[in-house]
Amino acid sequence: GALDEENRITSEGSAFASMPVHPRLARMLLFCPEALTDMACDLAALFSEKDPFRDESVDLGRKLDRLRSEGHKAHRILRVSQELHKIVSGTRKNASARAAGFSPARGEEAGFLAMLAYPDRIGMLRQGSSNRYLLSSGSGALLDEKDPLCGSRFIVCAHIDDRAGDA
């Protein structure tokens, strides 16, 4: 939605460009339901900065819980999130909120927000597997068998380690 059919920037593209984050994250921030703006800012900051919880589960809900309960380990992320919230509040008024009519299931908010930023990385569990996924982009992804999300029917991959074969 950032460009029209003639590759000219749209009003949404201008809104994305005004955000100090990657266009994927700007899309998430501008198109999320208003009730999820705080969480979207936290996620955008987490995705933009070094993840202090990277050695644990890839579950974004768990990372957000840790961010809120152990903010002392992630003070930079929380500061970036607060700055993003100020910017988003002013920018959202001028941007269309496409996702406003959608609401995720309780407990699935982080995955829903990641889906807004990474629609090409929605993964569906491959039949007969507990940790191999087919992404909406057509490529494959492999999740560590020890991760609590392993076996989930659907996932969204915010960060991918590209390598030969499945990412």
> pLDDT-derived band of residue 92, with 50, 70 and 90 as boundaries?
low
How far apart, in whole angstroms, are the C-alpha atoms of residue 93 and residue 158? 26
Which tokens hold the place of 160?
């991918």
Can you give the pTM of this predicted structure?
0.85
Contacts of 76 (CB under 8 A, 6+ apart): 49
Encode pLDDT of 134-167 as tens digits: 999 999 999 989 998 999 999 999 888 876 678 8
Checking if the pLDDT of 93 tops 70, the result is no
Which has more pLDDT, 94 or 50? 50
Helices first, then strands: H and E counts in the chain:
6, 4
Encode pLDDT of 118-128 as tens digits: 999 999 999 99
Instruction: Give the pLDDT score at 152.
Output: 93
